[in-house]
Structure 1
């Protein structure tokens, strides 16, 4: 049985209004997909009124705590004291949110306890061996 980590985070949507509204969000990590994390937003927090889930590399969060990273749909960068900016680019537009870096660090620490960064391939090798053992 695999342990999946789910951690709610307080996200603040960067908008034209001076006060950034808080929106619910959650970070997810499943060791069966050791390179990926998901960030989900429930329907009431999205313009489309449907649940939205972004999947991206765990390494983006790790590196984004220290320096701007990402060239594609998801970009991450540190901002001020204990903040992280995540940009989600889609054909419909771009959403920019702030999250507390401390929350992200705690989440990443939990993921590293399950699958240490840099050892994701070993976990995949173990999963493949189990799959082949069960098939035989």
Structure 2
């Protein structure tokens, strides 16, 4: 299986392809199984229907790893983009007193940060529970 990021003008897409042997051409040919936008959370059913069981496992594992990397990057971006204002409570209080618009923007950043952190915490606790379940299964 091959996964290739297509750099088109709109939404970037992933393309999934594989090499198969063609008896009539007597050589290996590249067969494109399909493409899908990066923002989708799952590989489409029509692509998976063309795959063997082994290939499906490969595609799903690749997607899991890719999704985790994308989510990590998204969280990292949200955290690093937080305004410097958060680091200085004195400035924060001044802003709140001076300008209601800044306060509204600050709230948005706070919600984004809280959301990102809670997602990470939920995922970590889920992974920990799964690990504990695996470890507690009697052999």
Regarding TM over 0.5, the answer is no
Larger Rg: 2
Greater share of strand: 1
Which structure carries more helix by proportion? 2
TM normalised by structure 1 equals 0.31
